Structures are given as C-alpha cells and as structure tokens.
Structure 1
Amino acid sequence: MPSGTVLAVCSADTDVVLDGVGPSGIDKRPHDHRVAVGPLGLTTDHVCDTKHHGGTDQAVYAYSEREARRWSTELGRDLPFGWFGENLRIDGMPITDAVVGERWAVGDDGLVLETTIPRTPCRTFAEWAEEPQWIKRFLARADTGAYLRVLSPGTVGAGDRVVVTDRPDHGVLVRHLLAGVDADADALTRLLSDTQIPPKVLREASRKLARA
C-alpha cells in the first residue's frame, strides 16, 4: 500500500476578508506543534461558509506537495504550506488519485482518515489566488486534492507518516468524482452498492452515474 509524509499541518486562526466574498477561513497557516483532530477536523481550524465547506464528510482537506510545486513553477510564485486552503500538505503518495473510501493511518496517535470527495474550486479560492481564470485552470488540471472524514480521532504533526491501510476494490478514484472527468459507470455502481457510503460521496457518485 502507498505511504507518504505530512509536511505541514495547517489551519486558520483568523479570517481573511476577500473582495466580493467576505470573511473566509481559506488562509491556513502551518503549526509547529501537534494538533488534535476530531470528527469535524482540526480543532484549531474553523469554517465560515458551512453550507459548502466543512462537516463530517469534509472534515480534513489534503493536498499534494508535488502538485503544489508544479503550480508554483507554472505561476512563478511561492505557494507556502496552507496556500491551497489545505489542512495537510502531503508528499510521496497519491491524493486526488486516491481510491474513494481508502483509509489512512496518520502518525502514531491513532488518527485514521477516510477519503471522500474532491475539492471543487469556488469563488473564494479564485479571489484568494488572484490568478486569471483560476477556477477553470484548477479544474482543468483536475488535481484538486481530497477531502477526508475522521474515522478515529487523534493528533497530527509535521513529519507524521501516512499509510494506506485499506483500499476498496470498486476502482473509483477521488478524481473521478470531479465534473468533467470521465468515470466508469460499472465502477460507480459498485461504489454506490456500499450501504455505508458517506452522504456526500453518495451525492457526488450518484450525479456522476446519472451523467455516465
């Protein structure tokens, strides 16, 4: 099974006010200490737009260091830990190409996470990035990172190892639930046959199957 390393653990201590959006918790900053993680995510973090962000199915947001470096090169600017609004910047393992429902054991304090849905870029992210056509470009890459739910609470810190401990065999990747990305109807049907599927995975997979 794949494994990786947490490079940074990030949360928003205060809001940033964006033009046309208002207060947002997108401005995540890295911690130099371990952070407790509960059912709704990092206890040091907060969400302003609870209609579209947060909740148990989107408790933690992980983003790939490899993809962050690629964007940094393309944009010609430094993109520090937390810039993508991520809670965990992870290196060495697939994030958007993780299988939906795979489980990650993080560190040695009992934290277990499960992948759910991809991040869908919104107006807030576009205002924060201040890059032309940002939503379109970010979606075109389709490496948007993954949301996770918390199966077992614990703490997380920079340097923690992330190990995939269980991987479903339905074949649906987090990436496949993005709009505009092809997904196999049979694989989606296998995913939807799971009676314990999280609500937001059920919603997104059902939408994709309807279009497949």
Structure 2
Amino acid sequence: MGARVRSVNVGVGRSGIGVKGRRTGIDKRPVGSVEVRDPGPKGTGLGSGAVGDDVLNGRHHGGSRQALYAVAREELDLWSGELGRELTDGCFGENLTTEGLDVDAAIVGERWRVGPVLLEVTGPRVPCANFAAWMGEKGWVKRFVAHGRSGAYLAVVEPGTVTVGDAIEVVSRPEHGVAVPVVLAAWFGDVAAARAAIGSGAFEGRELAELERVTARHT
C-alpha cells in the first residue's frame, strides 16, 4: 500500500487540558474529511488551515507556515511501545495522521499532493508546555526533542478537501536536502543544523532571524 491519509483530525478548544488547566485545541479527534485553506498570517489570520479546527494560542501556533500538522502513524506506534500505552490518531495534536510515508524524512520545501490539495512542508513541530501537559509524561519536551522525529508542519498551497484514504504523492523535493529533523535540532541550539537551515534558503523573516540568533550565540 502506498502513502495515504489514515486519519483527518480537528480539535475544538477544551479547558482543563493545557498548563494550569488552560483551554487548548490539542485534543484532535478524527473526522471523515476536512476543508483546508491558507489561514493567513500567524496571530491575525484564521489560525488553523483546517476548517473547524481551533488554534487558541495564535502567537505560537497556526498561520500560513503552520497551517496543518502531519504525523506518521508509524511514529505513534513507536511511541506507544516506548510509553506502554495506546496512542490514538490525532493524539499528538496532528491534523493528518499518515500511513506509509516517512514524514520525518521530508525535505523542507517539498510538496505533497493529497487528493485535490497541494501542501508544502515548512518545518518541524516544536513541542510546547501544553503538549507536555496533554501527554502527562515526565520530561516530555526534552524526550520528544531528543528523539528528533517531530512530524511536520505544512502550508496549504492549493486548497480543497482532504479525505481519509487520500493518496499522498511527493511531487517535488528541493535539492538543498535539509530534512525536518535538522531544523528541529536548529531550533534547539544546534549550530551546524542552524547553518544548514539558513543555507537552504527555505526560511525568511522571523524564522530566519531566529536561526541567525542561534549561530550568533556561538561565534
């Protein structure tokens, strides 16, 4: 079986989940299909790229570069074994749970055709305190980062409806070769990774400035 969408997941804001019981949309639950579109700028746009999916912290989540989040079912299965408990589709807060696709081997800037929709990989998911609270595992953020396989954020290039079972085809891949885990390492202070990410030409604006700060701290 080729790469496909195993589950499409959206979350309505719920209280009692995040840090100190904060309201968050991380509790994503499967639906049959979802309309996706470019949500616009982070903080001032529509938030999530998935219609009906809540983004409650617009400062750190959502926006065009983080319109959707994809995680491989194979990664959830690995973590299920590590944690000794079942992890359901959507439990990492992902909008797309894939099957047969190594999401973490994706190159930043590569594009996926998913049914009628065209998506672009923009980088890794950076774990936050609400994610840690939701998972309820001691040292979760540190452990997740050390594992290095975070899943990928996606931009919506061509909108449409994503449906469970849709095939996923990688239609283009940049030659720079900087994969999602490299950028995750960069965000957490790996200077060589940050230099590679800068050299890819895939980042600009605030993201580029942050990568440059990582390298500046070690010069």
Higher strand share: 1
Give 1:190 deviation, angstroms: 3.7
Partner of residue 22, structure 1: 22
Taking the aligned partners of 2:23 and 2:8, their CA distance within structure 1 comes to 22
Counterpart of 2:197 (choices 170, 188, 198) is 188
Q: Which runs of 5 or more structure 2 residues have no equivalent in the other structure?
A: 40-48
- RMSD over aligned CA atoms reads 2.1
Superposed, 1:129-140 pairs within 5 Å as: 129-140=135-146
Give 1:200 deviation, angstroms: 5.7
Higher helix share: 2
Taking the aligned partners of 1:106 and 1:145, their CA distance within structure 2 comes to 17
> Aligned pair in 2 of structure 1 residues 118, 184: CA closer, same or farther (>3 Å)?
closer
Taking the aligned partners of 1:7 and 1:47, their CA distance within structure 2 comes to 22
Taking the aligned partners of 1:203 and 1:95, their CA distance within structure 2 comes to 26
* Deviations 1:118-138, CA, capped at 9 Å, x for gaps: 111111011000111111111
Contact 2:13 2:56 in 1 (8 A): no
Amino acid paired to 2:122: T
User: Are 1:77 and 2:85 an aligned pair?
Assistant: yes
Amino acid paired to 1:59: A
> Aligned pair in 2 of structure 1 residues 186, 200: CA closer, same or farther (>3 Å)?
closer
Superposed, 1:150-165 pairs within 5 Å as: 150-165=156-171
> Aligned pair in 2 of structure 1 residues 12, 209: CA closer, same or farther (>3 Å)?
same
**Any idea what SS the aligned residue of 1:42 has?**
coil
Contact 1:116 1:200 in 2 (8 A): no
Contact 1:177 1:204 in 2 (8 A): no
Superposed, 1:21-60 pairs within 5 Å as: 21-32=21-32, 34-40=33-39, 41-60=49-68
Contact 2:182 2:197 in 1 (8 A): no
Q: Which runs of 5 or more structure 1 residues have no equivalent in the other structure?
A: none
Counterpart of 1:175 (choices 156, 162, 181) is 181
Higher relative contact order by CA 8 Å / sep ≥ 6: 1 or 2?
1
Taking the aligned partners of 1:92 and 1:211, their CA distance within structure 2 comes to 39
> Aligned pair in 2 of structure 1 residues 148, 137: CA closer, same or farther (>3 Å)?
same
Amino acid paired to 2:160: G
Contact 1:38 1:150 in 2 (8 A): yes
Contact 1:5 1:161 in 2 (8 A): yes
Taking the aligned partners of 1:158 and 1:210, their CA distance within structure 2 comes to 44
> Aligned pair in 2 of structure 1 residues 43, 200: CA closer, same or farther (>3 Å)?
farther
> Aligned pair in 2 of structure 1 residues 181, 78: CA closer, same or farther (>3 Å)?
farther
TM-score, normalised with respect to structure 1? 0.87
Give 1:20 deviation, angstroms: 1.4
Q: How many residue pairs end up in the alignment?
A: 204
* Deviations 1:1-34, CA, capped at 9 Å, x for gaps: xx611100000134242341510000000002x2
Amino acid paired to 2:5: V
Amino acid paired to 2:155: R
Taking the aligned partners of 2:131 and 2:137, their CA distance within structure 1 comes to 10
